[in-house]
Chain A
Amino acid sequence: MATTTVPKQIGARVRRKEDPRLITGASTYTDDLKLPGMAYCTVLRSPHAHARIASIDTSGAEATKGVLRVVTGRDVQEAIGGLPVAHKIEGLLEPPHRVLAIDEVRYVGDGVAAVVAEDPSTARDALERIEVEYEELEAVVDVEKAAAGGPFVHEELGTNVAFTFPFEAGDVDGAFQDAPVVLRQRIVNQRQIPFAVEPRAVAARFDRGHRKLEIWSSTQIPHLLRTQLSVMLGIPEHSVRVIAPEVGGGFGSKLNVYAEEALVGHLARELGRPVKWTATRTEGFQATIHGRDQLADVEIAASEDGVLHGMRVKLLQDLGAYHQLLTPVIPTLTVLMLPGAYRLRNLQVELKGVFTDKTPTDAYRGAGRPEANFIIERVLDLIADATGIDPIEVRRRNFFPADAFPADTCTGLTYDSGNYQAAVDLLLETVDYDALRREQAQRRERGELMGIGVACYVEICGLGPSAALPAGGWEACTLEVRRTGRVVVKTGVSPHGQGEETTFSQIVADALGVGLNDVEIAHGDTDYVPEGIGTFGSRAQAVGGAALSMALEDVRDKSRKIAGHLLEADPEDVVFDEGKLHIRGAPDRAVGFQDVVTAAYMADDLPEGVEPGLASTRFFEPSNFTFPFGVHLCVVDIDPDTGEPSIRRYVAVDDCGNVINPMIVDGQIHGGVAQAIAQSLYEQAVYDADGQLVTGSLMDYAVPRASYLPSYELRRTTTPTPVNPLGAKGVGEAGTIAGNPCVMNAVVDAVSHLGIRHVDMPATPEKLWRIITERD
């Protein structure tokens, strides 16, 4: 973006402006809200994976002192519309998804009834006084069986397959014909449970005078939620205000429209009192979307020189019991990104989205792309193994070369910019790879197990062009310079940990020459911030920051006009400097930025044709996605006695285009890789044969502690994107996308001399111990 002086803030490791209030407890989360007359909501949930509701008797709950209202699915079916799914998938089966189940429950955690009471304990007690008679039905748990036939999650559909998404490019049969290397591998991306430290929470207040509903929700998408609640509750959109206060983590799990958001809004309207609901940890596990859960059967055709010529992939996505907002869209991203960083021309995919009696799946950090990258990066290692060529060399031989950009993939994407070789070169400058291989050979002699894993990645960021998204891909920004020269930025990208209050302030500071603390970044209130889409898909900088850049250009242009008028000079000759505007080459002929602002608002001496005020609202529509890339390497040691893996070294080379704040980018990589290590080694949602979630608490579901994680060595190359004025690509999901195959390639490498070619995630100690002892 255009700055006339050398950028001072962009590129600096500026400490986060939002941190003091977050780490001193001075911030307000949804559950902190106490509104006058507030009542409290709890939800009764199904203990069965699949059952018919024979009867519900709410009289005991209703008779409980302090209980204000008890509702079942039938009670609210007229008042609250079904939950939305946004998609562009042809022929998608969309069974009804009510805010509370009617007649049938379809997963453990499916809402059955809700209570509102004077205090939370009474609301909780009253749940136990609701008598529900269930007739258990056979639970649909295994995704392969579900895809093959009955019983059906939604009996009326007569199938569990909600959609098929066939894809074919190139000449796949030709690629397999006479291919010297043909490999087959089943590759599973196990179900994950997103774990935000702040659980979901919703509060609502209905203003009877204005017929206006205010909703506070721990959400990533206040504006989209506003629209959806308007539709679901039949309230005009201008009479719905959504506020996302501090949001304590989301990872995609709060990129959704949840039953409780509409239910609490409705109950507040009906009772005429504010109502709040906060998820328990158990509800966080059972009744908040899950992620991943894909099963891929992959066939690979390659030549003896390690070049990948074709792939056939049969992909089953476990959707869970219902569609949430983007449930069916996620695996289509997997299909798009299967080529990874490579010139794969021949690809055939058969994707099926399958209902099961489990919690719905949806976007979880990376959202379909970690799945794709895990597949393609395991495939490259399988080819390396089969051909005896080093994994890094195999990657080099398949890369899009640096001069190929913009590069078209066989899946119809155009990678904006890239230089994959350069990332690998930097990795090899950082790591003495040959020495690691020598060490590995020596350790093997001694019976020790050491593995070196390498994985590249390309990911889709900056979501994205509106034509490619189900609900708009633009972003909006309103920039207001106030009379005192303070700047307010109203952005639609509502953060939940990304640090936009800092990075956007850096952008403004450089563009207008004001101090970081003279800028307020406002977000997360649909009455204050006029429009927006939200924060997901690594889009905050690449799309939201781009909208800010456009608004800044408007304000700079207008400021130059006013300054030129005050200085009696051509506006084209006016440049911004710290706190002032001067004539190019004549720093003494200057006016302060405040003088310009004052002139704009006094408005008694403005150049002809210039309106009073100094503000702009802009919408940025990206012409394409952005495609960050990189290469990660890790070294894993496995304890031969216990099977416990430990990551000794983790090196990440990432290229996310231009960087606004390197410290925040580092933090995103740290967190992303941590969640990849989590999937690789620790986390797995397990359902038993009856559809009970047996990893339903932190006692059973292993979210890694800080002590489980290594130190990260981070390096970067910088290949700006031409897609937006900042040249920034996005980085929120990179670590998650690169990390799984990186860690698992190292795990497999550690036991490859025992004849092992693939290990399913998570690589638990017992799983590895079995491999080691069975081969001994």
Chain B
Amino acid sequence: MLPSAFDYVVPDSLEEAVRALTEGPDARALAGGQSLLPLLKLRLARPARLVDLRRLDGLRYVRKVDGGVAVGGLTPHAEVAGSTLLVGGGRALAEAAAAIGDVQVRNRGTFGGSLAHADPSADLPAAVLALEATLLAHGPDGEREIRAGDFFLGPFATALRPGELLVGARMEIPEGSRGAYVKLRHKASGFALVGVAAVLEMDGSTCRRARLTVTGTGGRPLRLEETEEALAGLSLEDGRAVREACSGAGEVLEDVHDDLHGSAEYRRAMTSVMATRAVLRAVG
């Protein structure tokens, strides 16, 4: 369990970090290391250089911004999970962060690290997608914004360009909205066999607009658009109606994973179950 040799640099600023990432071939950014270190030890990743971001303290925050909340890329999951700013629809993100791994992982692993790694079974991608977050990338050409819906391209693939770091995200939390994240946990890895995030804009007990996303079923997190439409205008106090509205959530998914950990049929069925539970939990 020893990695192959690599250069190791610890930049003091974001600019230095970006430079260190672009100077030579095969540089990788190291944030909390909760995914990267196991890959290094198994030699599944063999970067020529590791750029350790641990001194970039300015990227560790959850703060209120105009119309919503901003989260820094180096914020540990535990701080996202415990943030008092993530209320209403923002609960989807807090609960997704709380559902990651175990205590040690949540204290070391980072918000930006998890999103940039884009594991297809990770929890956070579902939440930022449901919140329609704006992700902030910083690279050689400065800072740019990427919509969450455009960010996740496939398994471990994102819209980040070479040398770009995911430095944070900004998301609106509509007034009176509700949110939740629930998952069926894979018993070995703790990752989502199926995870669903729900962000619901409400008029009293009636759902005005629903945003539902699923992770774990395919190569990237997806919006459950048909279910969102079925929930719009529905009274969410009626558990049976919610169940009915969510019952088709999994059926419409394409290219669902079918493997040792769960058949496609089971994952589809569980998508509907988790969608129902996410909605009921959000309004419960």
Contacts and interface: CB of A to CB of B under 8 A. Distances in A.
A702 interface: yes
Contacts of A770: 266
Nearest to A278: B1
Question: How would you classify the secondary structure of chain B's contact residues: helix, strand, loop or mixed?
Answer: loop
Instruction: Identify which of A120, A281, A700, A766 gathers the most chain B CB atoms within 10 Å of its CB.
Output: A766
A701 B102 CA distance: 17
A552 B187 CA distance: 49
B4 interface: yes
Given A121-B2, A121-B5, A699 B188 contact: yes
A75 B32 CA distance: 44
B42 A704 contact: no
A222 to B, nearest CB: 26
A642 B193 CA distance: 11
A770 B263 CA distance: 11
Nearest to A699: B189
A769 B268 CA distance: 13
A644 B184 CA distance: 9
A730 to B, nearest CB: 31
Contact of A702 (B188, B262, B263, B273): B188
A120 B189 contact: no
A682 B263 contact: no
Contacts of B102: 705
B42 A282 contact: yes
A183 interface: no
A705 B266 CA distance: 24
Contact of B1 (A125, A281, A703, A766): A281
B184 A698 contact: no
A642 B4 contact: no
Interface residues on B, range: 10 to 19
Contact of B260 (A124, A694, A705, A773): A694
Nearest to A199: B1
B19 to A, nearest CB: 28
Contacts of B270: 642
A280 interface: yes
Nearest to B267: A766
Contact of B188 (A120, A700, A766, A769): A700
B269 interface: yes
Given A641-B273, A700-B260, A120 B2 contact: yes
Contact of A700 (B5, B42, B184, B189): B189
A769 B4 CA distance: 44
Interface residues of A, number: 29
A695 B42 CA distance: 15
Given A282-B42, A700-B189, A769-B266, A695 B4 contact: no
B214 to A, nearest CB: 15
Contacts of A120: 2
A769 to B, nearest CB: 6
A686 B259 CA distance: 12
Interface in B72-119: 102
Contacts of A708: 187
Interface in B172-193: 184, 186-189
B28 to A, nearest CB: 19
Contacts of B263: 766
Contact of A703 (B188, B260, B266, B273): B188
A472 interface: no
Contacts of A641: 273
Interface in A680-701: 682, 686, 694-695, 698-701
B5 A765 contact: no
Nearest to A684: B260
A705 B185 CA distance: 12
Contacts of A766: 262-263, 266
Interface string B247-282: 000000000000011110010011001000000000
A573 to B, nearest CB: 62
A722 to B, nearest CB: 44
Contacts of B266: 766, 769-770
A573 B155 CA distance: 82
Instruction: Identify which of A125, A642, A644 gathers the most chain B CB atoms within 10 Å of its CB.
Output: A642
Interface in A691-725: 694-695, 698-705, 708
Interface string A749-772: 000000000000000111001100
Contact of A642 (B1, B187, B261, B273): B273
Contacts of B42: 282
Contacts of A282: 1, 42
Nearest to B273: A641
A124 B2 contact: yes
Contacts of B2: 120-121, 124
Interface of A: 120-121, 124-125, 280-282, 641-642, 644, 682, 686, 694-695, 698-705, 708, 764-766, 769-770, 773
22 contacts: A120-B2, A125-B5, A280-B1, A281-B1, A641-B273, A642-B273, A682-B188, A686-B260, A694-B260, A695-B260, A698-B188, A699-B188, A699-B189, A700-B188, A700-B189, A700-B260, A702-B188, A705-B102, A764-B187, A765-B184, A766-B266, A769-B266
Interface of B: 1-2, 4-5, 42, 102, 184, 186-189, 260-263, 266, 269-270, 273
Given A644-B184, A698-B189, A708-B187, 16 more contacts: A120-B2, A121-B5, A124-B2, A281-B1, A642-B184, A682-B187, A686-B260, A694-B260, A698-B188, A700-B188, A702-B187, A702-B188, A703-B188, A764-B187, A766-B263, A769-B266
Chain A to chain B: the 5 pairs with minimum beta-carbon distance, closest first = A702-B188, A702-B187, A699-B189, A124-B2, A280-B1
